[in-house]
Amino acid sequence: MTIPAMDIPVYADVDVLVAGGGPAGVGAALAAARNGASVLLIEQRGYLGGMATVAQVPAWCPYTDGKKPVIRGIGLEILNEMKSRMEPEFQAIWGDKLNWVPIDAEVLKKLLDDKMMEAGVNILYHTFVGNVIHGNGIVEAAIIHNKTGTQAVKAKIFVDASSDADLAYHAGGQFAKGGDEGELQPGTMCFVMSNLDRLKYMEYVKEHGPSLKAAINEAKAKGTLRVARDWAGISWVNDHTAGFNFGHVFGIDGSKAEDLTRGAIEGRDLVRHIVEWLKQTIPGFANGFLVLTGEQVGIRETRRIVGDVVVTADDFMQCRTFPDDIARNSYFIDIHMAKPTGGMVVSHLPPGESHGIPYRALLPVGIDNVIVAGRSISTDRATQGSTRVMPNCFAMGEAAGTAAALLAKQGKRSSRGIDIEELQRQLVRQGAWLGEDVNGKFQEAVI
């Protein structure tokens, strides 16, 4: 069918439009606004946080390389302020820790609202980017849809933090997706349980370990538990409440509504099955109550842009540094099996080591005023299994938003027109970690 031509009202004309309110979008919007840009942040849910809130991912991946924090700036600010709003008992355990810190989604939602209001970011919830108006490599406007109707948002620079590179996709960007056969990492329907007994559980853990490996394998052998992997991620918010990253839903392409629908239905069914098994099997869970499942199944992998440079597994393993680094990554390559009978791919860097993420990996080929941040940046599949996690997304988003603001302030519409040293200096001033050489070079910029 052909939609008749229609006049679309312009909702806003801003310096920077940020599409997506996950960690990458949060970092981008805050950085752009703090650098003086007018910013509109578009988010399809009624709150920010991305996978941490939408999918109930129960803990932050590590912020450190095993010796020092490599994710700093806005990402570290959000982590520490979330902890400061938690219960005293939580702070006593996690106050000085930066790796695998549990997430309270409700605390995080309110914190992120507060941060946006303080920075002067305009937010439009319950809205998504459905198309763009573009030509000659320039995006003129994003077409947004919500209960009000269809509208346009004009901007000088667009930051695509949609996770699936939706804006770049509609602008005609080039992409890779999955492995050689199109295989994708599975999704996970994370969930929260309450009325648990942590003390009783910890007694069990002392003897059997925290991953439930032995119990899971025994149940799989008996046919009483239908999960593919013998591991359960459990993150305790308090002595009675925990979040779970447990189980996989296979064959889900998070860029397709049909797959997200199936993932939701199969994911909730699997959660119910897992919860019953936990209550019947694991000490401390007998009286447990399922409080919440994710609004969406957690997605690990969809589109990756083809950018001006592709970050590879060799770059990861060699801890390579680039002249245009805008972030560092030390999280291990973590590729979940694409099929129930497959295996995991895990590759760690030595403690204290990291690799650079170059600005060019955020720039989609053929599009000149869009900067992509988050798990859809330009990498090979192996490296995407590392860069995809939420702390990294904060750092990439902060860099994208800072670059967008600097460009807009200078009247430039080309993302490739940035002065890299100026961008790096400003990121260091904001507290980002770009490696000893870069931070040392711009140390005088730190306020």
Each residue's pLDDT tens digit, 106-138 = 999 999 999 999 999 999 999 999 999 999 999
**7: which residues sit within 8 A by CB, 6+ positions away?**
none
DSSP summary character for residue 3: P
Is the per-residue pLDDT at 384 higher than 70?
Answer: yes
Q: Which CATH architecture has domain 10-178+301-445?
A: 3-Layer(bba) Sandwich (3.50)
User: How far apart, in whole angstroms, are the C-alpha atoms of residue 337 and residue 178?
Assistant: 12
At 344, the pLDDT band (50, 70, 90 cuts) reads: confident
Q: Which helix (H) or strand (E) holds 133?
A: strand 128-135
Counting residues of the chain whose pLDDT is more than 70, the rounded percentage is 99
Is the per-residue pLDDT at 444 higher than 80?
Answer: no
Is the per-residue pLDDT at 339 higher than 60?
Answer: yes
Q: If you average pLDDT over residues 392-409, what whole number do you get?
A: 98
User: Do residues 121 and 29 touch, judged by C-beta distance below 8 A?
Assistant: yes
User: How far apart, in whole angstroms, are the C-alpha atoms of residue 407 and residue 396?
Assistant: 17
Amino acid (1-letter code) at residue 197 = D
pLDDT of residue 447: 54
Amino acid (1-letter code) at residue 268 = R
Q: If you average pLDDT over residues 326-342, what whole number do you get?
A: 94
pLDDT of residue 342: 84
Q: Taking the model in full, what pTM does it have?
A: 0.97
pLDDT of residue 255: 97
Torsion angle of the four alpha carbons 339, 243, 292, 341, in this order, in degrees rounded to the nearest 10: 10
Phi, psi of 427 (to 5 degrees): -65, -40
pLDDT of residue 90: 98
CA-based torsion, 3, 11, 143, 411: positive or negative: positive
Collect contacts of 417-424 with beta carbons under 8 A, ≥24 apart: 418/359, 420/323, 420/324, 420/359, 423/326, 423/359, 423/399, 424/325, 424/326
**157: which residues sit within 8 A by CB, 6+ positions away?**
15, 16, 17, 369, 370, 371, 403, 404, 407, 408, 413, 415
Question: Nearest to residue 401, comparing CAs of 18, 107, 85?
Answer: 18
User: How far apart, in whole angstroms, are the C-alpha atoms of residue 79 and residue 85?
Assistant: 10
Is the per-residue pLDDT at 240 higher than 70?
Answer: yes
Q: Which helix (H) or strand (E) holds 139?
A: strand 138-146
pLDDT of residue 445: 63
Mean pLDDT, all residues of the chain: 97
Partners of 9 in the beta sheet? none
Is the per-residue pLDDT at 446 higher than 80?
Answer: no
